[in-house]
Amino acid sequence: MKILIVGGGTGGTILANHLSRRLGSEIRAGKVELTLLSASDRHMYQPGLLYVAFGQMTPDQLYRDEASLLEPEVDFHVDPVDKFQLDQNHVVTKGGKSYAYDILVIATGSRIVPEEVPGLSEGAETFYTEESAVRLHKRLMEFQGGTVAMVVSIPHKCPVAPVEAMFMLHDFFKSRGIRDKVTLRYQYPTNRVHATANVARWAKPEFDKAGIEYETLFNLKSVDPVKKIVYSEEGTEVKYDLLIAVPPHRGMEIIEQNHLDQGGWIPTDRFKLTMNGRDNVYVIGDATNIPVSKTGSAAHFESEVLAANIVARIKTGTDSPVREYDGKVYCFIEAGFDRATYNAFDYVNLPDLKPPSKPIHWFKVAYNQMYWTSVRGLL
C-alpha cells in the first residue's frame, strides 16, 4: 500500500507523523510505504508573521527544518509535484520523478494573489509573507501619525487576523506614545465588522472602546498608490497614510494548472475529506473548498480524522470512514498585546466568545512554541 502526501505544511506534516506512528510496524515490514513530497525543506509557523509585523518575533523564530519534524519512517523529498495524473494514480514531480500511489493526500495550502486587485501590491503593506511582515514592521516603527487603514479581501487565510491586527495596532501606537496622532480605520467586506456574527458582536464594542473607526460593506476594488486612496466596489473611498491589506488568496497554481480546482480550490467532501469524484484522493487544509475557515487549526483536526480513516482502511480493511470531520476549528484571537480570547466552533455549534483575558493571551504565546510539538503529531 503506497500512501503519498503532497505538501509538508501544517496538515501534511501532522498527517504524516500520525500515520507513521500508527503504521510503524507495517512500514518497517514493507507492507506500507509513506512518502511526503514538499516544495520546501523548511517549515514555517505562519501565525508568527503577525508577531513579526509588530516586532514581537523575528523571522528566524518561525522556521524549523521539515525533516527534523518528521518521524524517521516518513520518506520525505523536497521535489514539488508538477503533474497530478489521477486516472493513472500517480504524480510527476518538477524533478521528473514519478510516484505511484494507492492513496493520495493533497495538502498544498494556499497563496496570496494581491495582483488580482489593481494597485494593491504597490499601495499596501501586508503581513502574509515573511518579507512583507518585516517591511510592515519597519513602516510601523517609522510612522509618526496619520491614518492607518486596513482592507480585507475575500477569501483569505485566518479570518480573525484582520481583527487581531487592529487591536495590536492600537496597543502598538499606545506603547509608542502616539496613539492620539493615529487614526485607525478598519474596512470589511460584509455587513458586520466580522463575517462570523458572534465575533462581530464581540469585536464591535471593543473597537468602539479602542477608538477604532470602521466601515462595513467595503469590498476592495482598487488602490491608487499615488493619491493614497483605496476604493470599494460599493463606490466609497478611504484616504490613507499607511494601508495594510489582507490580500485575496487562491489555491496553489499547480492545482489550477492540473484542473483539479474550481476557482482555485479543490472540491472536497466536507465530512469524508475525499476529493469529489475520487475515492482514493483526499484533500486537507487550505487547499479544499470546504466552507470552513482556512486555518492551521482546521488542517490539524482534518489530518487527525484522515489519519484515523486511513489507518482503519489499512489495518481492518474498513472502506467507509470510521470518523467524519465535524468542522471543528479552535483559533485564538489576540485582543491587543496582553489580552486574548478564542473562537471555537464546528458544523453544529456556533462560536461563543468569552471576554478577553491575560491567561488566554499567555496560552497563545505558549502555543507559538507548542506548535512544534503539535505539528509532530504529539499534541
Partner 1 sequence: MAENKVVDACNTFCPGPLMELITYMKQASVGDTLELLSTDEGSAADIPEWIYKVGHEVISNEKMDGIWHIKVRKTK
Ligand X SMILES: Cc1cc2nc3c(=O)[nH]c(=O)nc-3n(C[C@H](O)[C@H](O)[C@H](O)COP(=O)(O)OP(=O)(O)OC[C@H]3O[C@@H](n4cnc5c(N)ncnc54)[C@H](O)[C@@H]3O)c2cc1C
Complex with ligand X: residue 195 or 217, whichever CB lies closer: 195
Among partner 1, ligand X, none, residue 309 binds (CB under 5-8 Å by kind): none
Query: Interface with partner 1 includes 225 (CB under 8 A)?
Result: no
Task: Determine the Cα–Cα distance for residues 368 and 48; give it in Å rounded to an integer.
Answer: 7
Among 269, 302, 272, 304, which Cα is nearest to 285's? 302
197 makes contact with partner 1 (CB under 8 A):
yes
Distances (CA, A) of 180 to 32, 35, 170, 329: 62, 55, 10, 37
Among 74, 199, 244, 252, binds ligand X (CB under 6 A): 252
CA separation for the pair 170, 355 (Å, rounded): 18
Buried residues in 137-172 as b, exposed as e (16+ CB within 10 A): beebeebeeebbbbbbbebbbbbbbbbbbbbbbbbb
Assess 293 for contact with partner 1 (CB under 8 A).
Answer: yes
Shortest Cβ distance from residue 369 to ligand X (Å)?
Answer: 14
Residue from the set 291, 316, 319, 320 that interacts with partner 1 by CB under 8 A: 291
Using the structure block, give the residue that is written with the C-alpha cell 466609497: 236
Binding of residue 268 to ligand X (CB under 6 A): no
Residue 11, contacted partner among partner 1, ligand X, none, CB below 5-8 A by kind? ligand X
Write the single-letter amino acid at 84: F
Q: Which grid coordinates are listed for 124? A: 499596501
With contacts defined by CB under 8 A, name the span among 60-68, 173-181, 334-342, 348-356 that binds partner 1: 348-356
Residue 345 pairs in a beta bridge with: 329
Q: What is the DSSP letter of 57?
A: S
Using the rule CB under 8 A, give the single segment among 4-12, 18-26, 196-204, 306-314 that binds partner 1: 196-204
C-beta separation of 282 from 98 below 8 A: no
127 in contact with ligand X (CB under 6 A): yes
Residues making contact with ligand X (CB under 6 A): 6-12, 37-40, 46-47, 49-50, 80-81, 107-109, 127-128, 157-158, 161, 252, 254, 285-287, 294-297, 299, 331-332
Residues making contact with partner 1 (CB under 8 A): 154-155, 159, 189-192, 195-199, 217, 219, 233-234, 248, 262-263, 291-293, 327, 329, 343, 345, 347-348, 350-351
